[in-house]
Chain A
Amino acid sequence: MVFVQLLINGLIAGAIYALIASGFSLVYSTCKFINFAHGSVIAFSAYMLYFFFSMLGINFGFSVLFSIILASLLGYLMNVLIYRQFRKRKAGSSILLIASFALLILFESLLLMFFGADIRTIGYIKVVKGISLFGAVVTPLQLIIIFTAIITFFGLYFFMKKSKIGKAMRAVSDNKDVAEIVGISSERIYSWSFGLSSFIAGITGVLIGLEQNLEPVMGTAVIIKGFIAAIIGGIGNVYGAVIGGLLLGLTENFGVWYFPSGYKDAIAFVILFLFLIFRPNGILGIKKGGDKQ
């Protein structure tokens, strides 16, 4: 029975990691740089839900909607107002990476300034006795997380495969110059990537906000798990991010079977270093990322 419980816990943690990593990888696949500020958008969304629902007392559905819309807008504006200015000046991926790191710290400090260092809870879904499933206990919130994640992944899959924008994104991701020759504006695709990835970040932020406590440093905490999952799956590969996230969630939770639970994070880093040494391109990565700037 412990096995089933750990499996379910792992899947739920994994679903969250997969959501974080898929948005992060989406931007990496088209824009080709590490966007640490993806974590800020997730933290921002969670705090907005707290602001609208717990502080202003707005209806829960509207609060969720506002949070996701504002998060998408934040990501979109970050790209237009900041990253685009860097690209205009021909900044390389290292500069963009440091810029995104500066943004992550900037937003963390802003959250700290406006909401204080205290831990906040949204408390919409009361702690209830979980339902029994194959001998394991699952709370309704955990079921919501799993279903939302599955719907998001299918939505993302069909968007990337079927829609015109999704196809253009994959084209830019494969080869930006060739995509521009056939008339795809790469700047427009970058905007779409940021909008879509931040929309997913908005959903992720809401789910994390409901499941955990809010703290200003949560943006950094989530993006670490996100990039570890992304590296496991093959960075820049959106489907790989889903596999990587699930694998990370499962390993962490099964690891607790053998190690004290304080070492959960350490397990994640051991996996990160193992992948970096033996398979830097991840499970699904085909690009020679480990040898490329």
Chain B
Amino acid sequence: MIEAYLIHLLILIGIYFILAISLQVSLGFTGLLNLGHVAFYAIGAYTSALLILNGFPFWFSFLMAGVLAMIAGLILALPIRKLKGDYLALATMGFTYVVYAIIINWSELTNGPLGLPNINKPSLFGFSFASNLSFLILVVIITAITSFIVYKIVKSPFGKVLESIRDDELASQSLGKNTFKMKSFALAISAFFAGIAGSLYAHYVTYIDPTSFTIVQLIPVLAIIIIGGLASLKGTLAATVILVLIPELLRFIGLSSSIVGPARQIIYALILLLIMLYKPKGLYGKVELD
């Protein structure tokens, strides 16, 4: 019993970690105030679920989840590439609502508010990841690969250009860097991994509906990257573990389930406010939002 619970928590930590480091690429490293991350997560989850439900193999659905989210990222980058700060935040937040509205209204494809049930558990090369333990192994492998790729990207010359855009875009431009293109790439990479996280989530819970992809879902992810520290991968991991585990305490003090949901959000919102107030650089962060 306790093992099953621990496995469940570790899977959640893995999915949130992928979601959080992907947001680090756009928000932490490139400094884009991207509030549209949940939209890419939703695109990934729905793409993967719909493909596998229509008979495509898991690996294809999984990759397409990332690719489609990435394409959405590139499309979103076109109108917003010149926006900054407040405007960028509003536009990306608006994008979350556009995607949400499409999921709700395009019932023929997404089954609208009723959601998609019976999403298959993943299987690869004849091996099924149906049990939670095997799913955890899959999540760990994908998390490791994602972390490695993100690490390589942010340490590469391209990653340095992204950080220079965050710190001083004008200076970066004057050195001949095409910052619009770089920002679009950063957003696309960020979206790709959010889509992957969405796919894992869909195959794990086997049922998705639009309520899992409202703007509220952004709060825990934002809290993770701000608590861990912007542009810090080590901090992101620590903060993911802390933030996934804290609301679990609510279970043990015996709150009714209708209270637990809002109470979780209240805890996340309060932690986010307090950390920005008293430790704006987070646990391991070097930079602050301006």
Cβ-defined contact, B82 with A290, below 8 A = yes
- Say yes or no: is B79 at the interface (Cβ < 8 Å to chain A): yes
Cβ-defined contact, A276 with B85, below 8 A = no
Q: Which of B87, B93, B276 contacts A290 (CB 8 A)?
A: B87
Which residue of the partner chain A has the closest CB to B276? A95
Q: How large is the interface on A (under 10, 10 to 19, 20 to 34, 35 or more residues)?
A: 35 or more
Give the CA-CA distance A105 to B85 in the complex, in Å: 21
Cβ-defined contact, B215 with A94, below 8 A = no
- Say yes or no: is A91 at the interface (Cβ < 8 Å to chain B): yes
Which residue of the partner chain A has the closest CB to B266? A109
Q: Which of B33, B83, B218, B226 contacts A97 (CB 8 A)?
A: B33
Cβ-defined contact, A33 with B86, below 8 A = yes
How many Å from the CB of A284 to the closest CB on chain B?
16
- Say yes or no: is B270 at the interface (Cβ < 8 Å to chain A): yes
Which stretch from A148-156, A196-204, A261-269 is at the chain B interface?
A: A261-269
Cβ-defined contact, B269 with A273, below 8 A = no
Give the CA-CA distance A262 to B80 in the complex, in Å: 26
- Say yes or no: is A66 at the interface (Cβ < 8 Å to chain B): no
Cβ-defined contact, B277 with A92, below 8 A = no
Q: Which of A33, A101, A269, A292 contacts B97 (CB 8 A)?
A: A269
Per-residue CB contact flags for chain A residues 227-247 toward chain B (1 = under 8 Å, else 0) read: 110010001000000000000
How many Å from the CB of B134 to the closest CB on chain A?
35
Neighbouring A residues of B226 by C-beta, 8 Å: 98
Which residue of the partner chain B has the closest CB to A231? B90
Q: Which of A34, A86, A105, A277 contacts B277 (CB 8 A)?
A: A86
Which residue of the partner chain B has the closest CB to A291? B84
- Say yes or no: is A193 at the interface (Cβ < 8 Å to chain B): no
Q: Which of B87, B219, B263, B268 contacts A289 (CB 8 A)?
A: B87
Q: Which of B83, B216, B289 contacts A95 (CB 8 A)?
A: B289
Cβ-defined contact, B273 with A102, below 8 A = yes
Q: Which of A113, A116, A269, A293 contacts B98 (CB 8 A)?
A: A269
- Say yes or no: is A121 at the interface (Cβ < 8 Å to chain B): no
Give the CA-CA distance A276 to B82 in the complex, in Å: 9
Which residue of the partner chain B has the closest CB to A217? B214
Q: Which of A86, A106, A228, A262 contacts B105 (CB 8 A)?
A: A262
- Say yes or no: is A93 at the interface (Cβ < 8 Å to chain B): yes
- Say yes or no: is A220 at the interface (Cβ < 8 Å to chain B): yes
How many Å from the CB of A102 to the closest CB on chain B?
4
Q: Which of B98, B218, B262 contacts A266 (CB 8 A)?
A: B98
Residues 279-293 of A at the B interface (beta carbon under 8 Å): 280, 289-293
Give the CA-CA distance A250 to B94 in the complex, in Å: 20
Neighbouring A residues of B262 by C-beta, 8 Å: 109-110, 112-113
Listed by A's residue number, 27 A-B pairs whose Cβ atoms lie within 8 Å are A34-B86, A34-B89, A85-B277, A89-B280, A91-B277, A93-B85, A97-B89, A101-B219, A102-B273, A106-B265, A108-B216, A109-B265, A109-B269, A110-B262, A112-B261, A266-B101, A266-B102, A266-B105, A272-B94, A276-B87, A276-B90, A276-B91, A277-B79, A280-B83, A280-B87, A289-B86, A292-B84
6 tightest A-B contacts by CB? A92-B290, A109-B262, A106-B269, A109-B265, A94-B289, A102-B269
